[in-house]
Amino acid sequence: MVKLSVFSKLSEKNRDLINAAESVMSNGYDPYSHFYVGAALRTKEQNIFRGANINTCAYGGICAERSAIAQATSSKQYLFESIAIISRSDFFNLKGHSGPCGICRQMIWEFAELANKDIEIFISDSKKEQILITSIRNI
């Protein structure tokens, strides 16, 4: 199930998660397509780990979601509750939402299996006007 919400109607906890993702979105490295993504992951312990995307000319890199997961696992935290994703393009006026790619979905899925919990996903447009709310089992 996918729900659409307005940022102001979300709980403070979920607004903070989206704001955390937004705070690192511009830190991404993408000198080619100028597409920037920020992600923030909330663990069971209520810690928030942030990640930004990295893209190279060899079409290799790391998505913001996996960057945030790497931060969490580097701190020995493997049980996740939710993840927020926000993106912006300097070349295109994206009016939509950019959710996790297939590799990121698989990684989130595996951590959901590890925690025996569906992980909630918040996907925001760049201006935080519309928030898609879903989960790894429903995306």
From residue 83, alpha-carbon distances to 34, 58, 69, 118 in Å are: 23, 27, 9, 11
Catalytic residue among 12, 22, 45, 65: 65
Cβ(111)–Cβ(80) below 8 Å: yes
Q: Please say if 45 is a catalytic residue.
A: no
- Which residue numbers are catalytic? 65
